[in-house]
Amino acid sequence: MLALGIPSPPCSPPILSYYSSPKTSKFSSLTSSFNGLKTTRIKTSIRTPLPSPSDKTVVRMAKREEELKDIRAKTTEEINEEIVDLKGELFMLRLQRSARNEFKSSEFRRMRKRVARMLTVRREREIEEGINKRLSRKLDRKWKKSIVVRPPPSLRKKQEEEKAKAAEAEKSA
């Protein structure tokens, strides 16, 4: 057995072995009987397993289940009010994007998903009551027409803060 000193990668040393076979050609004296080296890798390092993507999905699903429990605990009227508020927030985000202001782009998806979950819970309740799809759409159109436009919660907070600052300025003046 013949071993050759070939540099190997630092993770594992290769095992080298010599293979030869007798040549049966008339030019055997001119050619070499060396056929090559066979390398085999042996794992010497123990790697720690990386967290799998399924671990993250389990956490996300747990959060989603908690959120659904919170939504299902609310009354239909509270769900309707929150839908209106979230749609107002989405509108404000769209305005910020169009005005090139700073905003979190991840909020779009988060709010849309939350609205979709609320609408799903609302439709589940309608199905339990025995309301068919056609009547549900009719009631939905009626509900949308009855919505009173009001500023979203984030804008209301800003307006209250501005009023508080104005009141403090008047008191100090």
Please determine, for residue 31, whether its predicted confidence score (pLDDT) is greater than 80. no
**What is the value of pTM for the model shown?**
0.56
* Structural domain contains residue 101: yes
Residue 25 domain boundaries: 1-44
Phi/psi zone of residue 132: left (φ > 0), alpha (ψ -120 to 50 degrees), beta?
beta
pLDDT band at 107 (very low <50, low <70, confident <90, very high): confident
My answer on whether 91 and 10 are in the same domain is: no
The mean pLDDT of 12-25, rounded to a whole number, is: 50
My answer on whether 67 and 144 are in the same domain is: yes
Q: What is the pLDDT of residue 11?
A: 55
My answer on whether 92 and 144 are in the same domain is: yes
Q: What is the pLDDT of residue 118?
A: 93
Who wins on pLDDT, 100 or 4?
Answer: 100
CB contact at 8 A, 13 and 44: yes
My answer on whether 79 and 30 are in the same domain is: no
Please determine, for residue 156, whether its predicted confidence score (pLDDT) is greater than 70. yes
Q: What is the pLDDT of residue 6?
A: 61
The mean pLDDT of 69-93, rounded to a whole number, is: 90
Which H or E run contains 41? strand 34-41
Q: How many CB atoms lie within 10 A of CB 114?
A: 17
Distance CA 33, CA 2 (A): 13
Helix axis angle, 106-129 relative to 133-146, nearest 10°?
120
Please determine, for residue 119, whether its predicted confidence score (pLDDT) is greater than 80. yes
Domain count of the chain? 2
My answer on whether 9 and 85 are in the same domain is: no
